[in-house]
Structure 1
Amino acid sequence: MTNELAGKIAIVTGGGRGLGRAMALGFAGAGAAGIVVTAARSPDQVEAVASEIEDIAGAGTALPLVADVTDRRACETVAAQAAEKFGSIHILVNNAGKGQNFIGNDRIPFWEADPEGWAEVVDTNVNGPFFMARAVIDHMRRQDWGRIINITKSRDSMHRPKNSPYGPTKAALEAMTLAWAQDLLETGVTVNSLAPGGAVDTAFVLPAVRATAAETGKKYFPADVIVPAAIWLASEQSDGTTGCRYVGSRWNNSVTPDAAAEGAREPAIFLPPKRDSILRKPWQPPKVSSN
């Protein structure tokens, strides 16, 4: 174990599998004092992850909860239960999401998408992060410190054809990251986005896409590709960094954490604002360092 997150309490939505599980276990290994893992359903999955967390970090360090992020009151309950058990909330990872598979098993043009499935994806991927951030923000502001990490995806796939609404919802989350970061300037609470950097071997991969990948020999990233960057963003090492976008697969373990983070940073997907803003780093190119 390491101690980057010593004393910190984290909530990881969608923590029962894939990226969420990987980050929750990574936080446990980084010394987090408490980790809440949530899932909209599948209590067995979050309970299994909670057991893994406690194997790493010790008894009483995990809290598995079943909560749908599209339910505002359920999100408020998650925050209340986390604060009651652990005393505070320092880190929120908005990882819960629904992919293109919720509107079908094949890539289809937007007009063929099932409206109910479309609404479900948008509700989970856009409203869900808002409801969760809203539920925890008072805890973070009161202690003058907090981390919100929004999990997104590769920029080119946000506008890929036959990938709506999933891709566009992640573009919305990138915009929300920048907006929230500015809302929270000088509060000690930061908001950043983190993408794995390519296709990850999770349930989000459509069967048709997986079959094509098998034919072409395409490889998928393991879920833990995102963990080193997530730990850095969740820790005090990232103090003062907000509104930025990071790519997990670009993390270089052979350099210092700060240098690795800068190497994993990617400029914002949107143009710089014309209005005056003290937030500039998200649009600056990363500084390459050999240290």
Structure 2
Amino acid sequence: MNHKLTGFYAVITGASDGFGFEMSRTLLLNGATVAMASRPGEKLNVAAGRLQSEGLQAFALPMDVRSEQSVDEAVSWVKKNWGHIDLLVNNAGLGIGRVNPTTNPKLFFEIDPDGFRDVVETNFTGYFLVARGFAPMMVARRKGRIVNVSTSHSTMVNKGQTPYGPSRAGAEALSNIMTAELSEYGITVNVLLPGGAADTGLIPEGLREEFRKRVNLLGPDVMNEAILFLASPLAEGMTGERIIAKDFHQWLQDKGIKI
């Protein structure tokens, strides 16, 4: 699939590594201009610099999705420098490692409350704050696309998945409400999930080898084809979809979509 996205502006959160970096690079390689949003620091600057060195229109956009002020500052930068965005990807997230850096599941009453809050504020409240910040620009144009990254339904409710699973469940419920409330403004909202454990920063560095022994980890590029499709003219007007990235080609076939 090859699409020319010249003049297409996207903001992707959690873009300094993992899914966010790969999705940014995919859109950039197809001509889009991308603001790579992540917490400020060297990691973000290095990630954006890698893509800028390839001659791509990547911008480092410092943003802590947990902070209303930080989100508002990022929105102001986009308004001043671009005037609008065509696509927002809510991807920033914290994994279960924030509250349990081992492979032994913790019961919900064993979870540290501060860790619980961090995960929920990033994976759920962060989606709200970022969408709340950027949606008015789309509403004003009566045009725009939002993609919220999620996880499997089983992960949302499985033992040992507090608070990661519930935080993703909340964000997905929010996505459904956003879909309904934004449709009259011509704004689409879709959910995208990998379809399995992936080799990203959501897995603690010290546990990756252990995970690789137990499961076939998906690559961080698993979302690339789906996000390119969702940015393309082929997805014009498509809303309320829940796309499992590893099964993307089957989803296209089921929908009768040829790319």
TM-score normalised according to structure 2 size: 0.91
How many angstroms does 1:288 deviate by? 6.1
1:112–1:244 Cα change, 3 Å:
same
Asked whether 1:225 is paired with 2:215, we answer: no
Pick the aligned partner of 1:237 from 218, 234, 237: 234
Identify unmatched segments of 5+ residues in structure 2.
Answer: none
Task: Tell me which residue corresponds to 2:141.
Answer: 143
Matched residues in 2 for 1:290 and 1:3: separation?
Answer: 14
| Residue pairs, 1:52-71, within 5 angstroms | 52-58=50-56, 61-71=57-67
Matched residues in 1 for 2:141 and 2:49: separation?
Answer: 29
How many angstroms does 1:199 deviate by? 0.8
Residues 252, 258 of structure 2: 8 Å contact kept: no
User: 1:227-270 CA deviation, whole Å, 9 max, x = no partner?
Assistant: 11011112332122111100111123xxxxxxx6534xxxxxxx
Residues 93, 151 of structure 1: 8 Å contact kept: yes
Identify unmatched segments of 5+ residues in structure 1.
Answer: 253-259, 264-285
1:166–1:227 Cα change, 3 Å:
same
Task: Tell me which residue corresponds to 2:107.
Answer: 109
Q: Using CA pairs under 8 Å that are at least 6 residues apart, name the structure with larger relative contact order, 1 or 2.
A: 2
1:51–1:209 Cα change, 3 Å:
closer
| Residue pairs, 1:1-291, within 5 angstroms | 2-32=2-32, 34-41=33-40, 43-58=41-56, 61-106=57-102, 107-206=105-204, 210-216=208-214, 218-252=215-249, 262-263=252-253, 286-287=254-255
Matched residues in 1 for 2:95 and 2:47: separation?
Answer: 22
Q: Which amino acid aligns with 1:80?
A: S
Matched residues in 1 for 2:51 and 2:80: separation?
Answer: 19
Q: Which amino acid aligns with 2:140?
A: R
Q: Which amino acid aligns with 1:220?
A: L
Matched residues in 2 for 1:220 and 1:115: separation?
Answer: 29
Q: CA RMSD in A?
A: 2.2
Residues 2, 31 of structure 1: 8 Å contact kept: no
Comparing 178-187 with 49-58, greater Cα deviation is found at 49-58
Matched residues in 2 for 1:4 and 1:167: separation?
Answer: 36
1:288–1:187 Cα change, 3 Å:
same
Residues 150, 177 of structure 1: 8 Å contact kept: yes
How many angstroms does 1:73 deviate by? 1.6
Matched residues in 2 for 1:288 and 1:101: separation?
Answer: 39
Matched residues in 2 for 1:89 and 1:163: separation?
Answer: 34
Matched residues in 2 for 1:208 and 1:161: separation?
Answer: 22
TM-score normalised according to structure 1 size: 0.82
The structure 1 segments of at least 4 consecutive aligned residues displaced by more than 2 Å after TM superposition are 1-6, 51-58, 206-216, 260-263, 286-291
* Number of residue equivalences: 257
Q: Secondary structure at the match of 1:223?
A: coil
Q: Secondary structure at the match of 2:222?
A: helix
Identity rate, percent: 30
